């Protein structure tokens, strides 16, 4: 399951996954926090899409929906890998990684002994106010495998799915 804060990196991830034979779909219905994840197969969601942002800030600023969906993924034993992006810069959330990291921890606690792999990319420059190295460290401390680009993160997620026989 890919949960992205914007469409460009979501599209890049879908392309990277398709190139190694992992077909993805975009859910026809909006995923709702607290509701079961619909359908089967590998899904990639742009939580920055209008369907998720009507009446609320963009997920690059307010991560509540995406964090809720991370928790929902944890509650769903059919989900074995979660793929995320984290975009930094002026106008973005001031400290996004700790909030995402806590959602990952909660998702894993909800699973008990069933593993949940989480892979992320951090898109930002050293001069960004969020400090990419600090954001990366917060994610890694939560057991998130962090790659330098959405493409590389998607390739790692695909490798994990293939290793599990889920590709």
CATH code, domain carrying 97: 3.40.50.261
Whether 30 and 8 have beta carbons less than 8 Å apart is answered as no
pLDDT in tens, 11-48: 999 999 999 999 999 998 899 888 888 877 899 999 99
pLDDT for 39 equals: 73
**DSSP line for 95-156:** SHHHHHHHHHHHHHHHHTTS--EEEEEEE--TTSTT-HHHHHHHHHHTT-EEESSHHHHHHH
Is-above-0.85 flag for pTM?
Answer: yes
pLDDT for 165 equals: 82
Number of domains in the chain: 1
Sign of the Cα pseudo-torsion (167, 112, 83, 131, in order): negative
Q: Which structure tokens are listed for 109?
A: 């606690």
Segments of the chain scoring below 70 in pLDDT: 167
pLDDT for 167 equals: 66
Domain that holds residue 99: 2-164
């Amino acid at each position: 399951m890919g949960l992205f804060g914007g469409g460009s990196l979501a599209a890049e991830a879908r392309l990277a996954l398709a190139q190694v034979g992992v077909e993805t779909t975009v859910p026809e219905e909006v995923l709702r926090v607290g509701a079961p994840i619909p359908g089967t197969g590998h899904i990639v969601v742009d939580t920055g899409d209008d369907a998720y942002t009507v009446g609320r800030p963009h997920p690059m600023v307010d991560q509540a929906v995406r964090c809720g969906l991370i928790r929902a993924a944890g509650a769903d034993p059919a989900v074995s890998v979660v793929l995320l992006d984290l975009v930094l810069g002026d106008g973005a959330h001031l400290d996004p990684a700790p909030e995402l990291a806590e959602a990952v921890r909660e998702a894993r606690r909800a699973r008990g002994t069933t593993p949940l792999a989480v892979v992320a990319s951090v898109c930002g420059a050293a001069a960004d106010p969020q400090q990419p190295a600090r954001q990366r460290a917060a994610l890694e401390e939560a057991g998130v495998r962090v790659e330098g680009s959405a493409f590389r993160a998607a390739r790692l997620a695909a490798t994990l799915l293939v290793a599990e026989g889920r590709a």
